[in-house]
Amino acid sequence: ETGVTQTPRHLVMGMTNKKSLKCEQHLGHNAMYWYKQSAKKPLELMFVYNFKEQTENNSVPSRFSPECPNSSHLFLHLHTLQPEDSALYLCASSRWTGGNYGYTFGSGTRLTVV
């Protein structure tokens, strides 16, 4: 069982579609994160969940809607996206919230908005 699993690996969606990204970890971690990785830009933290509760939203547009039903699963619901939202979306987890412990990352979902 690998650490953090993300599905799908690749996603192409139209601007009017609704889709969801899924992240799953069975490491016993209590914190989960969504990051956006765009070309030539630093990874951008989007959302932080700690024990299923959202603790941080980095001014992310409402067309991105996270959901964390339990400490092992994290979703990112997408609707009416823009072409500039095309990026690699990475999920990560850590035992406790806080970057001090370092994160375990998934392989990401490569999203293309057409």
Partner 1 sequence: AQKVTQAQTEISVVEKEDVTLDCVYETRDTTYYLFWYKQPPSGELVFLIRRNSFDEQNEISGRYSWNFQKSTSSFNFTITASQVVDSAVYFCALSGVQTGANNLFFGTGTRLTVIP
Using CB under 8 A as the binding rule, the residues of this chain from 35 to 54 that contact partner 1 are 40-43, 45, 48
Count of all residues that appear for the chain in the document: 114
Q: Is 104 in the site for partner 1 (CB under 8 A)?
A: yes
Q: Rounded to an integer, what distance in angstroms lies between the CA atom of residue 13 and that of residue 78? A: 10
Residues binding partner 1: what is the number (CB under 8 A)? 25
Shortest separation between residue 72's beta carbon and partner 1, angstroms: 18
Q: Rounded to an integer, what distance in angstroms lies between the CA atom of residue 9 and that of residue 107? A: 8
How many Cα atoms occupy the beta-carbon half-sphere of 87 within 13 Å?
20
DSSP, collapsed to helix, strand or coil, labels residue 103 as coil
Whichever of 74 and 90 has its CB closer to partner 1, that residue is: 90
How many Cα atoms occupy the beta-carbon half-sphere of 74 within 13 Å?
33
Binding mask 52-91 for partner 1 (x = CB under 8 A): ---xx-------------------------------x-x-
Contact residues for partner 1, defined by CB under 8 A: 4, 9, 40-43, 45, 48, 55-56, 88, 90, 92, 97-100, 102-108, 110
